[in-house]
Amino acid sequence: MKGNILTPEGWVHGELRFKGRIEAIDGTAANPDANGDDYILPGFIDVHVHGGAGRDMMEGGDAPHVIAALHARHGTTSLLATTMTAPPEDIERALNAIGAACKERGKGEARILGVHLEGPYINAAKLGAQPPFAKEATLAEIEAYEALAPMRVITVAPEIHGHIELVRLLADQGVRVQIGHTSGSYEDGVNALEHGAAGFTHLFNAMPGLHHREPGMVGAALAHAQYAEIIPDLLHVHPGAIKVALRSIPHLFCVTDSTAAAGMPDGEYMLGRQVVHKCMGGVRLADGTLAGSTLTMDGALRNLVKIGLSLREASRRVSTNAADYLGESERGRLAPGCHADFVVLDRDLNIKAVYIEGEAV
């Protein structure tokens, strides 16, 4: 594959040779603006995917495969299947299907690396678009879920009774605990980070904002976090606020928080047990509350460039940072020995080709 190849060291104009993994990158350092060739970037990594192609992860069955295929066509080469706040039987149904999909990647599908359990361990006062099934977490319940599918990220509200102790236990087991859907204070956020919390779920959304006398959970993130998710659909977060986060959080990374409405026309879709409406470029509950997004990661990349990031920096925010966050050292970068997960973009940043573990999508 020939073009302008983005390596960890910078742009190379030349050829990427691969099978299931990258074998070599041959070429010379170059300014990609000096020629008209395609861009070859690391495949996108999305740690927050609820749905797509009219399907929702909470359905179970073949939904994870259909969703992974939709996102693969938009350049996502690996993802975390994300659940909703729901009764245990609903979560178990979803995890059974996700666990099976983690074991075997279907043709043309993004690799499902595991689960992002977004709820039910959140604050009932900050549900956002989550159904009203929030509850206190127990280690026994999480271990039962882990037996069904690999827990990679778990969102919790740290101010809920017993959660701060659980943060440390989960962090010690290698789970990335994120702070989200929370009414907690700045102090609650700092305490959670000190106990091993690793990031923040869709920064700015469903958490107390920044005030100069009450910095809130957003203040804790901006002052102390190394990692956080952000949704760059330009609806959930104003471009100016995205720039604030980019200056403050060294390894900020982008997610879609995509729903069944991603890749679909306007209309009604399901998000867990909630009916959501796709209209005016977004997804909302009947009362107008934003309810996930229709974003795909190629759109996220274009939006970052639109608000002023270089293509190299934007690529890091949709790929490498998330890989590092998850400890996936062989994804999210183009280097010999890494999985051949990459996207080919034209000069307008539209997808021309996607390769996942060497397979053309």
Active-site residue, 172 included:
no
Q: Can you read off the two tokens belonging to residue 322?
A: 């998330």
pLDDT in tens, 4-54: 999 999 999 999 999 999 999 999 999 999 899 999 999 999 999 999 999
Residue 95 placed within a domain: yes
pLDDT for 280 equals 81
Residue 53 · residue 263 · CB < 8 Å: yes
**Could you tell me which residues come within 8 angstroms of residue 347 by beta carbon, excluding any fewer than 6 positions away?**
36, 38, 39
Neighbours of 191 (CB within 10 A): 17
**Model confidence at 73: pLDDT above 90:** yes
Query: Residue 104: pLDDT above 90?
Result: yes
pLDDT band at 124 (very low <50, low <70, confident <90, very high): very high
If one counts the domains in the chain, the total is: 1
In a domain, 29, yes or no: no
222-265: pLDDT as tens digits: 999 999 999 999 999 999 999 999 999 999 999 999 999 999 99
Could you write out the three-class secondary structure of 203-225? CCCCCCCCCCCCCHHHHHHHHHC
Mean pLDDT along residues 51-58: 97
Question: Does the structure show a pLDDT above 90 at 281?
Answer: no
pLDDT band (50, 70, 90) for residue 91: very high
User: What pLDDT digit, counting tens, does each position of 171-183 carry?
Assistant: 999 999 999 999 9
Residue 24 covered by a domain: no
The residues with which 12 forms a beta bridge, in sequence order, are 5, 29
pLDDT over 90 for what percent of the chain? Answer: 95
Whether 347 maps to a domain, the answer reads no
Q: Is the pLDDT of residue 77 over 90?
A: yes
Q: What CATH number has the domain bearing residue 301?
A: 3.20.20.140
Residue 125 clears pLDDT 90, i.e. is over it = yes
Residue 274 is predicted with a pLDDT of: 86
Q: Confirm whether 80 is domain-assigned.
A: yes
Coil vs helix vs strand at 135: coil
- With respect to residue 50, please indicate whether it lies within any of the assigned structural domains: yes
Is residue 37 assigned to a domain? no
Note down the domain range covering 206: 43-330
Could you tell me the pLDDT band of residue 135, with boundaries at 50, 70 and 90? very high
Q: pLDDT tens for residues 141-160?
A: 999 999 999 999 999 999 99
- Would you say the C-alpha torsion 158, 149, 104, 173 has a positive or negative sign? positive
Identified catalytic residue from 188, 257, 298, 341: 257
**169 pLDDT above the threshold of 90:** yes
The overall average pLDDT reported for the chain is: 97
346 domain-assigned: no
Q: The whole model's pTM is what?
A: 0.97
pLDDT of 305 above 90: yes
pLDDT reported for residue 273: 87
**Rama region for 332: left / alpha / beta (φ>0; ψ in -120 to 50; rest):** left
Pick 251 or 270 by higher pLDDT.
251
C-alpha 190/C-alpha 23 separation (Å) is 43
Can you give the pLDDT at residue 262?
A: 95
